Amino acid sequence: MSFSVIGELLNTTRDPIRNAVARRQTGVIQKLVIRQQESGADYIDVNTGAGVQAEQAELHWLIDTVQAVATVPLCIDSPDPAVIASAWERLDRPPMINSITLEKTRFQPLLEQLQGRPCQVIALCLDDSGMPADVTETCRRAERLVTALTGRGIPLDAVWIDPLVSPVSTDTRNGPGALAAVAAVKQQCPGVKTVCGLSNISFGLPARRIINRTFLPLMISRGLNGALLDPLDRELTAALATTRMLLGDDAYCLGYMDHCAAEKVPG
């Protein structure tokens, strides 16, 4: 297994972040960048989509502010290809792009700007008809995305397929469905990466963190290669360190032991 943590905290749908971005509070933002990195984030997601009118200006400020302290790449998170297009020249290292879909307004515009630009790309199995109806449809969409992106020169292992996780609260088949989708995409498109927004699974239920940290090992064991998640959730990162060890990706258990020592885990 290999697994990448995309730190999700810098999103203006979260009240403290919306306020910090609106007020240009550099310190608040940079502290969260550093804490996410220290807690194992491999990418820092930046999303200013809550500020409809201001999205682009806010994103530019946020990118500059984050990059001043970031030691890892950014994950540029917007549904608007024009907003993403406006960000490229500010970036000081190849980003992760979050995200392309098969929707008409996003597919071609994003494909065109990705050509020739080194980056990682999150590709959602979403088209204009909505969510995929089943695993077969998820795989069909994944293949279309993979074909299009690799056709534009994106390496296969830089394509991160998000099969789209729906809350188990709306349909209890969504848990098994998400697990099956990840496994199927990994099988159908060997070499591609898979990713999801981890906490989507727990929407609408109490004690969401318990669900998230139980879902993560299950998804990783099916082949999940990364997730947008909260790296400051210490029980979640403990589950991640433990999963790596249990799946045989932690020589001499050193990563797990380090995690225990660093977190003063009580057990």
Element (H, E) at 259: helix 254-263
**Closer Cβ to its own copies, 175 or 197, answer by number:** 175
Burial call 129-140: b when 16+ CB within 10 Å, e when fewer: eeebeebeebbe
Q: Which is nearer to its own copies, 157 or 171 (CB)?
A: 171
Q: What angle do CA 137, 133, 96 make, to 5 degrees?
A: 65
Which of 194, 140, 143 is CA-nearest to residue 165? 194
Give the burial class of 213: count Cβ atoms within 10 A of its Cβ; 0-12 exposed, 13-18 middle, 19 or more buried: buried
207-246 positions binding its own copies, by CB under 8 A: 207-211, 214-215, 217-218, 221, 238-239, 242-243, 245-246
With respect to its own copies, which residue has the nearer C-beta, 81 or 163?
163
Site for its own copies (CB under 8 A): which residue of 33, 168, 182, 184? 168
**How many CA atoms are closer than 13 Å to the CA of 176, on its beta-carbon side?**
3
Q: Rank residues 53 and 172 by Cβ distance to its own copies and give the closer one.
A: 172
Is residue 52 close enough to count as binding its own copies by CB under 8 A? no
When asked if residue 107 is in the footprint of its own copies (CB under 8 A), the reply is no
Token pair recorded at residue 250: 């932690």
Smallest distance from its own copies to CB 35, Å: 20
User: Does 25 sit near its own copies (CB under 8 A)?
Assistant: no
Cα diameter, the chain: 51
Q: Which is nearer to its own copies, 139 or 245 (CB)?
A: 245
Q: Which residues bind its own copies (CB under 8 A)?
A: 168-169, 172-173, 175-176, 179, 201, 205-211, 214-215, 217-218, 221, 238-239, 242-243, 245-248, 250-253, 256-257, 260, 265-267
